[in-house]
Chain A
Amino acid sequence: MSEPPSATSAVPEAAAPPAGDAIRVEGLSKLYRRTLPGDRLRTLKSALLRGSLTRGLSREESIAALEGIDFTVARGEAFGVIGGNGSGKSTLLKLVAGMLKPSAGRIVVDGRVAALIELGAGFHPEISGRENVYINGAVLGLTRRQIDRRYEEIVEFSGLADFMEEPVKNYSSGMYVRLGFAVAVHTDPDVLLVDEVLAVGDEAFSHRCVRRIEEFLASGRTLLLVSHSLDLVEGLCDRLLWIDNGRQRLVGEPRRVIDAYRQEVAEQEGEAHHAAKLQREEGGERSEELRWGSRQAEIAAVRLLAGGAERYHLETGEEAVFEIRARAAEPLTDFVFGVAVSTPRGFECWGTNTDLAGFVPGRFEGEATVRLTCPALRLAPGEYVADVAVHSRDGAPYDYMRRALTFTVTAATGGIGVYFPEHRWEFTGGIRWDDGQPPP
């Protein structure tokens, strides 16, 4: 079970011996100057006189993109950075790459750095893939001869042999990434910085990238990866840093950081969902996209109940009740109530309806309350959404509410996937554990 996140939990893991550090970041802050109208001349003046846009600015004139970041990355380590949009991840990467100068604090990077900051950055759209490989390689510090030697390898890795003479403006976004990544990893940097871009490649290429990164790490090189794909960072990284609004929240073992991050996102969403729901109840319809149907029957309210109260958060195995209040203005003789639980990404975990359960509709008129009770809802820890609908037996919707409920499931012990059966570990023979309570 992950620790509850808190603003003070930014305790770095025990630092590796300095000699083995590939990246060391101490007390790092980065301010940006706010763009004020008619301020151009002052911007120029401060840039010229101080060599900085933000030195000597008051708090109102600047925005802190990052504040108080401290971490070290050991050589050979894969270090991930997660956090919401605008949390400062990319700024951090640019600082480590040396593109931006810290407003305060220190960054020490040992060795040659290659950075993949953005899709197709550093490529000239008008010229061929081949020429771009040479330009990109030269920017990363290779001589023409060194690139000559690696050219075949780069092309083979990118899988773009047939497109090398084509101007890169005709490339798809996936092709951009493939070529950019191929060049970056083949320039043998000591430290590779990757921002997000890997998610764009197709499955096969992603696998090749991951394999290549693993080889890269095995040879003692270092990776700093920024990503929204928690699955990717979990699979690849040894440790994670979670930044939230420019502040360091947690550094540590991936599972633990991701759990803490997910939990907070779920809580925020729960609150937001609750607030949105209140607003809806006060008046106004749900947006069309999330709700459709003929409205011959109408869903008035949907709640998730546990322990007799409305909840947005369940412990796995708890009794959970999906409650639907509905009304039909005209009498209906053909009706089915259904509930489907899925992950926010759309993976369906479980769904059922009154038809599947064998109920044959008789008559529905006026108001009614439908409760679906799960004596033990055994979902794996994570976030879930539920769609709720009333429709005819042939599937024509009367009222379909997408994401009618959003809730988070937690568990006392860890687990991945969507299903969390009751389980226990047993051990016999010559095995001893230093710690670990038997699961409840």
Chain B
Amino acid sequence: MFRVAFQIFRFRGLLATLTSRELKARYRGSVLGFLWSLANPLLLLAVYTFVFSVVFKPRAEGAEPYALFVVSGLFAWIWVSTSALEGSMSLIANSGLIRKAVFPAELLPMVTVLSNLVHLLFAMPIVAVAIVTGRVLGEKVGGIGALAVPAIILLHLPMVAGLALGASALTVHFKDVRDLLANLLTFLFFLTPILYPLASIAHLRPVWWLVRLNPFTPFILAYQEALFVGRFPEPTLWLQMALVSLVSWALGAGIFERLRETLVEAA
């Protein structure tokens, strides 16, 4: 795990170049280019607002207005799941690079994580504007706690990176990992309090525990606390995030390190 970290640090210039290339390549030949990165969150926000404030109004204690509650956790989740899914295919998709050239393979899943992080960073100002608008309109949302978001993202990064690294190396040997992961993520999405506030399932004790122990939950709670409620997350939440991040990174980078020598042969 230290070697992975060292390699990433050593080739940080290359990582930056590859990430910006990845982003450019995604919008190459499109007229709006980077604006599409803004269009997607805007559209999601508009749809959620329309559906949940006009079509039907869910009664969720502590999650009003609902659309703002959802988006404050949703974009972070999108970052995690896209990074994990795209990351799991990153080595296979670039097998030419690692089979036929001397190339630091750990950069490939990292490129996926970072380019998707850029999309999250694009979405953040939109969420912020929406919350400020909500506040101006008299809703009790947002606050100074939003300043904690960069720190949360920074702490979230090793977790997502560990996930992508481990998944990428495992997928090389075992293609089922990707499908396994896709289904697992769908399942976990509902086990994470994104569409509902954690408090709303307090009466279902076993389910509450399941959700609370889900490693993705502390991060989502922290995003919601900082963005939606506008408070700094509790110290225990920070501790939980740090722990999950450390374990995820150690596990993912460890698996990658373990499989490194065999990647060239099997990719």
Contacts and interface: CB of A to CB of B under 8 A. Distances in A.
A358 to B, nearest CB: 59
A139 B265 contact: no
Nearest to A145: B13
A126 B264 contact: no
A97 interface: yes
Contact of B264 (A48, A99, A114, A140): A99
A124 B111 CA distance: 14
A52 B264 CA distance: 11
A342 B186 CA distance: 68
B262 A121 contact: no
B93 to A, nearest CB: 12
Interface residues of B, number: 32
A126 B102 CA distance: 20
B32 interface: no
A98 B170 CA distance: 21
Nearest to A33: B265
Contacts of B176: 40
A122 B14 CA distance: 13
A140 B10 CA distance: 12
B3 interface: no
Contacts of A44: 170, 173-174
Given A115-B101, A122-B97, A127-B25, A47 B262 contact: yes
A139 B103 contact: yes
Interface string B217-236: 00000000000000000000
Interface string A76-108: 000000000000000000100111110000000
Interface stretch (B124-132, B146-154, B195-203, B253-261): B253-261
Given A48-B255, A138-B14, A113 B102 contact: yes
A359 B103 CA distance: 68
B235 to A, nearest CB: 37
A433 B196 CA distance: 96
A237 interface: no
Most chain B Cβ neighbours within 10 Å, of A33, A115, A139: A139
A51 B256 CA distance: 10
B169 to A, nearest CB: 9
**Interface extent on A, as a size class?**
35 or more
Contacts of B265: 32-33, 53, 100
A138 B13 contact: yes
B25 to A, nearest CB: 5
A113 B17 CA distance: 22
A134 B13 CA distance: 10
A98 B102 contact: yes
Interface in B17-31: 17-18, 21, 24-25, 28
Interface in A26-60: 32-33, 40-41, 43-44, 47-48, 51-53
Contacts of B215: none
Contact of A122 (B13, B103, B258): B103
Contacts of A51: 258-262
B264 A100 contact: yes
A139 B264 contact: no
A234 interface: no
Given A47-B258, A48-B255, A126-B25, A134 B17 contact: yes
A115 B102 contact: yes
Interface in B88-102: 96-102
B145 interface: no
B134 interface: no
B9 interface: no
A118 to B, nearest CB: 4
A127 B21 contact: yes
Contacts of B173: 40, 43-44, 47
Contacts of A373: none
Nearest to B103: A139
Nearest to A119: B100
A226 interface: no
Contacts of A52: 261-262
Most chain A Cβ neighbours within 10 Å, of B25, B259, B260, B262: B262
28 contacts: A32-B265, A33-B265, A41-B174, A43-B173, A43-B266, A47-B258, A48-B259, A51-B261, A52-B261, A52-B262, A99-B98, A100-B261, A100-B264, A113-B102, A118-B100, A118-B101, A121-B100, A122-B97, A127-B21, A127-B24, A131-B21, A134-B17, A135-B17, A135-B21, A138-B13, A139-B14, A140-B102, A144-B13
Interface of B: 11, 13-14, 17-18, 21, 24-25, 28, 96-104, 170, 173-176, 255, 258-262, 264-266
